[in-house]
Chain A
């Protein structure tokens, strides 16, 4: 943990990346979040995702118990917390892969009433998995094409008639090739995804998620197992995504990464949000450090 690193000048970390991005746009994008008071459950100016009373327990263990949490639109939010904190479970609940015992959440201004993963994905919420789900017996390109939304050729009545979907397929293929290029996977384009290395699969899964032009991308440990040089360029992609208006939430354990690209950080411990705020503030928060070291403190659970 970079506890010894000095906090940067000025209000927050985004300056660190000024070389990556157009700073004028950057300021307009991020400014509002800087005015938000860093405390658990605080309201945000323009949230894309709002959760209330979200609870999930497995037997006696309460894996997720989130009172209120808002995810701001168009920025990069990091979700951190020790192992077993409930980060993945929270992702599963929000994306409909697991059912909450109680609680409600709102996505893109609409209440999520019957959380079905595919419907949420079609509404613009895509996720990746901590344990990568590449489709082994499909080629890398086919994996990518699956990510494309609203495909005419995916309807049975249109499937036998190639001329109905050929043009869309071609456009999707172009988009897929661009993304594969960005994610350093072009050379593997026609290989079966099952032949990729672990890190390459992470990259493929993320690139595939982006095929759908999502409104919210939720990445579960996207950097895990990706080599540092490539991770660096992945970070660049994540920042660019936020700049193009996509909201990003990602789970990450590496604090250098977290402080490097996050506009906002949410800390989960034992299922609860124990802190949130700008990256430098949060990472040096006593409560957070204690949680990571496994120390319990009276009154942290709020």
Chain B
């Protein structure tokens, strides 16, 4: 058992593109769920449109990546509007159902064989992200590695990571600025009691719509990074569990906090990768009974996700505010 390898893998996942994508998705969801109280169970839909908007623009229409990115973000915005207009006035539970359904419908449409000509259908789509990597200042020869041991990235990865974390920082700053303003105060009042907000003259529908749009576009950014990182998109990457991983990260870090979604995303990937690496090493240990080794073999990924879920359950029991949240706020719910 080599803990250096386990730790290296975990640290790489915690700082790598996957964590960036999850962090952006969670920052967007934090605006929906954390600050406005919108039960958006379809965050993956926004990510998907960001990713496919970018990919399809470049791959199918042959336009520049720099046109693809805004188109991806615009599609995420358009989803927020079309989803919000009919559903934001409904009960919170109806809204939740509508969001999960909308995301699945989009995924099924994108992945259907009828859409092959446009989106690649079930075959996934890939494009040349050269326009992005042309700007890469890191040397990325086949021998170039940045880091130590298993905690190392290629030059291309370094470029994605650098841009990604800068984006996370900028978006976090933007969210901090708008949430601490009177505008953010209205969002929180809607989360607490929308009738109270109405009685004070706030147009609840419009504020919810703004929140849905901003959080959706930030989700779209996650999709853009995902598309660039993989130079494409695959419908299987946008199943509903992506939304639930996003919730897990958000709740781990602490909903309605500024750093919660980012820390949560880092922690999520660290734990997930640590456990998976650990199990993989474990299943190779000679002293392990064959039955156990066979059980572990190939299931490390699933078990590690289950363990992260378990960690979330324990967290909800013992520290329901998440790692950065405020305890006294949570206790108010019991009153």
Given A121-B201, A127-B199, A162-B181; A135-B192 close (CB under 8 Å)? yes
Is there an interface contact between A97 and B174, defined as CB atoms closer than 8 Å? no
How far is B192's CA from A44's CA once the two chains are assembled, in angstroms? 39
Is there an interface contact between A136 and B189, defined as CB atoms closer than 8 Å? no
Q: Is B178 an interface residue (CB 8 A)?
A: yes
Q: Chain B contacts of A128 at CB under 8 A?
A: 199
Closest B residue to A164 by beta carbon equals B181
How far is B304's CA from A38's CA once the two chains are assembled, in angstroms? 77
A97 shortest CB reach to chain B, Å: 7
Number of A-B contacts (CB under 8 A): 112
Mask of A252-282 contacts with B, CB within 8 angstroms, 1/0? 0000000000000000000000000000000
Q: Chain B contacts of A194 at CB under 8 A?
A: 329, 332, 335
B83 shortest CB reach to chain A, Å: 19
Closest A residue to B203 by beta carbon equals A118
The dominant DSSP class at the B interface is: helix
Mask of A142-159 contacts with B, CB within 8 angstroms, 1/0? 100111010111111011
Q: Chain A contacts of B177 at CB under 8 A?
A: 159-160, 162
User: Which single member of B188, B199, B332 contacts A126 (CB below 8 Å)?
Assistant: B199
Is there an interface contact between B198 and A117, defined as CB atoms closer than 8 Å? yes
- Total interface residues on B, CB under 8 Å, equals 32
Is there an interface contact between A118 and B202, defined as CB atoms closer than 8 Å? yes
Q: Is B63 an interface residue (CB 8 A)?
A: no
Mask of B169-210 contacts with A, CB within 8 angstroms, 1/0? 000001001100111111011011101111111111000001
How far is B198's CA from A147's CA once the two chains are assembled, in angstroms? 10
Given A118-B203, A154-B182; A138-B198 close (CB under 8 Å)? no
Given A97-B195, A153-B183, A165-B182; A212-B335 close (CB under 8 Å)? no
Closest B residue to A137 by beta carbon equals B329
Q: Is B328 an interface residue (CB 8 A)?
A: yes
Q: Mark out the residues of chain A between 114 and 133 whose CB falls within 8 Å of any chain B CB in the assembled complex.
A: 116-119, 121-122, 126-129, 133
Is there an interface contact between B183 and A154, defined as CB atoms closer than 8 Å? yes
Q: Chain B contacts of A56 at CB under 8 A?
A: none
Is there an interface contact between A126 and B192, defined as CB atoms closer than 8 Å? no
Mask of B324-335 contacts with A, CB within 8 angstroms, 1/0? 000011001101
How far is B201's CA from A195's CA once the two chains are assembled, in angstroms? 25
Given A118-B201, A121-B201, A212-B201; A138-B185 close (CB under 8 Å)? yes
Q: Chain A contacts of B333 at CB under 8 A?
A: 136
Is there an interface contact between B200 and A121, defined as CB atoms closer than 8 Å? yes
Given A133-B193, A137-B329, A138-B189; A149-B183 close (CB under 8 Å)? no
User: Which single member of A146, A158, A165 contacts B200 (CB below 8 Å)?
Assistant: A146
Q: Is A202 an interface residue (CB 8 A)?
A: no
Mask of A85-122 contacts with B, CB within 8 angstroms, 1/0? 00000000001010000000000000000001111011
How far is B199's CA from A147's CA once the two chains are assembled, in angstroms? 9
Closest B residue to A191 by beta carbon equals B328
How far is B197's CA from A208's CA once the two chains are assembled, in angstroms? 11
B87 shortest CB reach to chain A, Å: 18
Q: Chain B contacts of A209 at CB under 8 A?
A: 199-200
Q: Chain B contacts of A122 at CB under 8 A?
A: 201
How far is B174's CA from A117's CA once the two chains are assembled, in angstroms? 31
Q: Chain B contacts of A126 at CB under 8 A?
A: 199-201
How far is B181's CA from A140's CA once the two chains are assembled, in angstroms? 16
Is there an interface contact between B332 and A149, defined as CB atoms closer than 8 Å? no
Q: Chain A contacts of B214 at CB under 8 A?
A: 156
Is there an interface contact between B200 and A212, defined as CB atoms closer than 8 Å? yes
Q: Chain A contacts of B182 at CB under 8 A?
A: 145, 151-154, 159, 165, 169
Is there an interface contact between A149 and B178, defined as CB atoms closer than 8 Å? no
How far is B202's CA from A154's CA once the two chains are assembled, in angstroms? 9
Q: Is A192 an interface residue (CB 8 A)?
A: yes
Is there an interface contact between A97 and B186, defined as CB atoms closer than 8 Å? no
Q: Mark out the residues of chain B between 199 and 251 whose CB falls within 8 Å of any chain A CB in the assembled complex.
A: 199-204, 210, 214
Is there an interface contact between A133 and B210, defined as CB atoms closer than 8 Å? no
Given A138-B189, A146-B186, A194-B332; A118-B204 close (CB under 8 Å)? yes
Closest A residue to B183 by beta carbon equals A159
B132 shortest CB reach to chain A, Å: 27
Is there an interface contact between B174 and A160, defined as CB atoms closer than 8 Å? yes
Q: Chain A contacts of B192 at CB under 8 A?
A: 135-138
B281 shortest CB reach to chain A, Å: 44
B170 shortest CB reach to chain A, Å: 12
How far is B335's CA from A168's CA once the two chains are assembled, in angstroms? 34
Q: Chain B contacts of A169 at CB under 8 A?
A: 182
How far is B201's CA from A149's CA once the two chains are assembled, in angstroms? 8
Closest B residue to A132 by beta carbon equals B196
Closest B residue to A95 by beta carbon equals B199
Closest B residue to A214 by beta carbon equals B201
Is there an interface contact between B199 and A133, defined as CB atoms closer than 8 Å? yes
Q: Chain B contacts of A151 at CB under 8 A?
A: 182
Give A residues with C-beta under 8 Å from B.
Answer: 95, 97, 116-119, 121-122, 126-129, 133-138, 142, 145-147, 149, 151-156, 158-160, 162, 165, 169, 192, 194-195, 208-209, 212
29 contacts between A and B (CB under 8 A): A97-B198, A118-B200, A118-B203, A121-B198, A121-B201, A122-B201, A126-B199, A127-B199, A133-B193, A135-B188, A136-B192, A137-B329, A138-B188, A138-B189, A146-B197, A149-B201, A151-B182, A153-B182, A153-B183, A154-B181, A154-B183, A155-B183, A156-B178, A156-B210, A158-B183, A159-B182, A159-B183, A192-B328, A192-B329
Given contacts A160-B174, A209-B199, 18 further A-B contacts (CB under 8 A): A95-B199, A117-B195, A117-B199, A118-B204, A121-B200, A121-B201, A126-B199, A133-B193, A134-B196, A142-B188, A151-B182, A154-B202, A156-B178, A158-B181, A159-B182, A160-B177, A160-B178, A194-B332
